[in-house]
Structure 1
Amino acid sequence: MSISVENKIALVTGANRGIGKSIVETFLKHGAKKVYLAVRDTDSTKALEEKYGDKVATLKADVSKTESIENLAKHATDVEIVVNNAGVGSPQSTISNGVEDDLQFQFNVNTLGLLRIANSFSNILENNKGALVQLNSVASIKNFPKLSTYSASKAASYSLTQGLRADFQEKGIRVLSVHPGPIDTDMAEKAGFEETSTKETVSEGIVSALQSNDFHLFPDKMAKKNRRCL
Structure 2
Amino acid sequence: MAGFQGKSILVLGGSRGIGAAIVRRFAAEGAGVTFTYAGSEEAAERLAAETETRAVRTDSADRDAVIARVRDSGALNVLVVNAGVAIFGDPLEQDPNAVDRLIRINVHAPYHASVEAARRMPEGGRIIVIGSVNGDCVPFPGLSAYSMSKSALQGMARGLARDFAPRGITVNVVQPGPIDTDMNPVDGPLKDIVYPHMAIQRHGRAEDVAGMVAWLAGPEASFVTGAMHTIDGGFGA
TM-score (normalizing by structure 1): 0.84
How many residues are paired up?
Answer: 217
Deviation at 1:107, TM superposition (A): 1.1
Give the structure 2 partner of residue 48 of structure 1: 47
The aligned amino acid for 1:186 is D
Distance across 2 between alignment mates of 1:15 and 1:74? 18
SS at match of 2:79: strand
Give the structure 2 partner of residue 218 of structure 1: 230
Q: Does 2:155 match 1:156?
A: no
Contact 1:63 1:116 in 2 (8 A): no
Q: Does 2:138 match 1:143?
A: yes
SS at match of 2:90: coil
Q: Pick the aligned partner of 2:55 from 47, 55, 58.
A: 58
Distance across 1 between alignment mates of 2:58 and 2:189? 26
Give the structure 2 partner of residue 86 of structure 1: 83
Deviation at 1:217, TM superposition (A): 1.9
Give the structure 2 partner of residue 205 of structure 1: 212
Contact 1:60 1:72 in 2 (8 A): no
Q: Does 2:30 match 1:32?
A: yes
* 1:187-230, Cα deviation, whole Å (9 max, x unpaired): 3357724442111110011122334323332223135x53xxxx
Deviation at 1:76, TM superposition (A): 0.7
Using a 3 Å threshold, how does the CA distance of structure 1 residues 193 and 155 change in structure 2: closer, same or farther? farther
SS at match of 1:170: helix
Structure 1 moving runs of 4+ over 6 Å: none
Distance across 1 between alignment mates of 2:64 and 2:172? 25
Give the structure 1 partner of residue 199 of structure 2: none
Contact 2:79 2:114 in 1 (8 A): no
* 1:111-150, Cα deviation, whole Å (9 max, x unpaired): 111112112212122x353110011111111124242211
Q: Which runs of 5+ in 2 are unaligned?
A: 193-201
Distance across 2 between alignment mates of 1:124 and 1:92? 40
Aligned positions of 1:172-183 closer than 5 A = 172-183=168-179
Distance across 2 between alignment mates of 1:101 and 1:21? 28
Distance across 2 between alignment mates of 1:67 and 1:191? 37
Distance across 1 between alignment mates of 2:6 and 2:78? 11
Q: Does 2:141 match 1:129?
A: no
- Larger proportion of helix: 1
Q: RMSD of the TM alignment (CA)?
A: 2.2
Distance across 1 between alignment mates of 2:213 and 2:189? 24
Give the structure 1 partner of residue 197 of structure 2: none
**What is the aligned-residue identity percentage?**
23
